[in-house]
Amino acid sequence: MSVAVDDDLWSAIGDPTRRRMLDLLLTDGAGTATTLSDSLPVTRQAVAKHLAVLDRVGLVHVSPAGRERRYRVDEAQLARAVAQLADVGAAWDARLQRIKRIAEAIERSQKK
Amino acid sequence: MSVAVDDDLWSAIGDPTRRRMLDLLLTDGAGTATTLSDSLPVTRQAVAKHLAVLDRVGLVHVSPAGRERRYRVDEAQLARAVAQLADVGAAWDARLQRIKRIAEAIERSQKK
DNA sequence: GTGACGTGCAACCGATCGTTGCAGAAAGAG
DNA sequence: CTCTTTCTGCAACGATCGGTTGCACGTCAC
């Protein structure tokens, strides 16, 4: 039985650049495409596209301020994404544990 | 401070199809490109490419058996991937908690 | 008003995920 | 042994994605 995963949300946090962007937005509180690109190895336009993706899945929200577009993390949505990470991890972990138990059982029965 | 993440390993489990493949391999113990594609909405060739990716990052191993190529999950490597999921989740979780605490502190100081 | 700054849009390139088509090796039926 | 089936790999192709450059447009500051 597999875990229910929102593929859009998952793939949004699947990109390394987007993960770093979320990190930066969390530490700085907010940021624009330009300020983020200063701390990233990609151009402003690439950052803008990533911000559009994050906005589409609700991980960030934008508030226009003059000529700037200031982005901020949606904490509830990020919490949901983190929960999905935990779910998938827990599901695989449980399977690995089960396999380990079975392997140990076989080991024991062979030794006998 | 961000978490150390193996981007290759992460992007290997970032693909929804590859996650389902790992699920199938874990439940069935082993499988070939053909048997996996029976349970997936993609063709055998697509599955074969995904298996190549998973093999490259060490998440599966192949054992040729006659005309078949039987794949099996490397449990240690999958455990490492799960650990990375947990790490990133925990890091974000900690940040969200900190933000929540700060927000509550502000709330209190304003009420006073 | 002019210049500088922040943004959006369009075109383009390379990698990735998916497809179809075909050729080759191994197992089974006659 | 031959023929057919089955599992596989390789090649070409299209769509999408992450990245780039170049340019045009609003907005703030002097």
Q: Is the CB of A66 under 7 A from strand D?
A: yes
- The rounded distance, in Å, linking the Cα atoms of A105 and A66 is 67
Which of the four pLDDT bands, split at 50, 70 and 90, describes residue A84?
A: very high
Give chain B's mean pLDDT.
93
Chain A interface, mutation test: which of B92, B96, B102, most A Cβ atoms within 10 Å?
B92
Instruction: Name the strand (E) or helix (H) holding B95.
Output: helix B75-111
Which of the four pLDDT bands, split at 50, 70 and 90, describes residue A5?
A: confident
Q: At what angle do helices B7-14 and A7-14 cross, to 10 degrees?
A: 160
Q: Which tens digits make up the pLDDT trace of B35-90?
A: 999 999 999 999 999 999 999 999 999 999 889 999 999 999 999 999 999 999 99
Cβ separation of B16 and A19 shorter than 8 Å? no
A8 in contact with chain B, both atoms CB, cutoff 8 A: no
